[in-house]
Structure 1
Amino acid sequence: MRLLLTSDTHVPKRARELPPALLAAVDEADVVFHAGDWVDTATLDVFQARARRLVAVHGNNDGPGLRARLGEVARVECGGLRFGVVHETGPARGREERCQERFADLDVLVFGHSHIPWDTTAPGGLRLLNPGSPTDRRRQPHCTYMTAEVEDARLVGLRLHRLPPRS
């Protein structure tokens, strides 16, 4: 099962359009996770039209139209793994412990907000993944998203994709 993890698309405020490589990854994925900050409903519509399965939440920059369509937390089982999606997890310090306590029923938590790629495992075994942002690198060297696969109830082949600078 092929997965795409993304967050913080911020269209049209941070970019006029989604990167072609990200859209191609949406088309290839069996499940797409989006951890919020869409900013406009048109971007959600694009993902819903293209993704085989979309698991998504709203973020702090998403207005009433998106909040009416998306929850704050999403939970789903994929290939024997329990995934969760949330936009904000708070400060980096203590994140693993906080998330392990709040999301003890999960194997993997996809989150966003910081635009900083993140891959750690909490002491209790919860894997925390932030794919960064495909449109707004902030203080990072690249805009990013992640792909992975689920095989035999294990997350394998996790890859951080770096997008070329926008022209």
Structure 2
Amino acid sequence: MRLLIMSDTHLPKRAKRLPEQLLAELPHADVVLHAGDWVDTATLDLLESRSRRLIGVYGNNDGPDLRARLPEVAHAELGGLRFAVVHETGPAHGREARCAARFPGVDVLVFGHSHIPWDTTAPGGPRLLNPGSPTDRRRQPHCTYLTATVTDGTLTEVTLHRLPRR
């Protein structure tokens, strides 16, 4: 099972549209995960129409229209792994312990908010993945997103993709 993981698209505030490289990944993904801060419903509509399966949550910059269509936290079983998706997990310091306590029984937690790519595993807790942002790099050197594969209940081939600067 191939996953496409993104967050913090902030359209149309930070960019006019999603990058072509990211859009080209959609037909290859079995599941698309979006960890919030869509900002516009058009991006949600686009991903719903082009994805085989979309799992998304709202973020702190998402208004009532998006909050009416998306949960604050999403849970899904994908290929034998238990996933949770949330927008914000708080400060980097203490994140692993905090997320392990907040999301017991979860194997993988996808989150966003910081625009900073993150890939760690909490001791005795979930693997934490933040894809960064494909449209707003902030202080990061590149805009980014993640792809991953779930095979026989194992998360493999977790790859951070750097997008060209605009």
Q: TM-score, normalised by structure 2?
A: 0.99
CA distance in 2, matches of 1:44, 1:134: 15
User: For 1:45, what is the secondary structure of its paired residue?
Assistant: helix
Amino acid at match of 1:139: R
User: For 2:90, what is the secondary structure of its paired residue?
Assistant: coil
CA distance in 1, matches of 2:117, 2:107: 18
- Which residue number corresponds to residue 6 of structure 2? 6
Quote how far apart the aligned CAs of 1:105 are.
Answer: 1.9
Quote how far apart the aligned CAs of 1:125 are.
Answer: 3.2
Q: Deviations over 1:37-64 (max 9, x none)?
A: 0000000000000010001000000000
Quote how far apart the aligned CAs of 1:148 are.
Answer: 0.5
Asked whether 1:61 is paired with 2:95, we answer: no
In structure 2, stretches of 5+ residues that fail to align are none
Amino acid at match of 1:131: P
Give aligned pairs, total: 166
CA distance in 2, matches of 1:38, 1:28: 21
- Which residue number corresponds to residue 78 of structure 2? 78
In structure 1, stretches of 5+ residues that fail to align are none
Structure 1 moving runs of 4+ over 4 Å: none
CA distance in 2, matches of 1:26, 1:57: 18
Quote how far apart the aligned CAs of 1:24 are.
Answer: 1.1
CA distance in 1, matches of 2:83, 2:128: 10
Q: 1:1-150, aligned counterparts within 5 Å?
A: 1-150=1-150
Amino acid at match of 1:41: T
CA distance in 2, matches of 1:75, 1:131: 18
User: For 2:10, what is the secondary structure of its paired residue?
Assistant: coil
Kept after mapping to 1: 8 A contact 2:104/2:125:
no
Amino acid at match of 1:133: S
Identity of aligned residues (%): 73
- Which residue number corresponds to residue 155 of structure 2? 155
